[in-house]
Homo-oligomer: A and B are copies of this chain.
């Protein structure tokens, strides 16, 4: 599980915060995430403003831990975040220089 996601308990969930350079990038990400939800049937709780998106993946009611379905969705969502988009990532990757 890449470091950007935090796994929490009570209730069991995965959380990640994304920040974007502008609303256009935020909106493009939300569009891609919506398509992923429709394909996978997993619907995260998303809260967003102009340049941020907080993603929460709740385990189903009664579950005691986050299952593989959510971990897989989290990984798929990571793929949708173009490196140049997520400005909350380490500064080195924000200036567009090819990171090793």
Name A residues whose Cβ lies closer than 8 Å to a Cβ of B. Answer: 23, 27, 30, 34, 37-38, 43-50, 54
Contact = CB atoms under 8 A, between A and B. Distances in A.
18 contacts: A23-B37, A23-B38, A23-B43, A27-B34, A30-B30, A37-B50, A43-B49, A43-B50, A44-B49, A45-B47, A45-B48, A45-B49, A46-B47, A46-B48, A46-B49, A47-B47, A47-B48, A47-B54
In the A-B complex, the 7 residue pairs with the smallest Cβ-Cβ separation, listed nearest first, are A47-B47, A43-B50, A45-B49, A27-B34, A43-B49, A46-B48, A23-B43
Q: How many copies does the complex hold?
A: 2
Specify the main secondary structure of chain A where it touches its partner. Answer: mixed
A76 B34 CA distance: 24
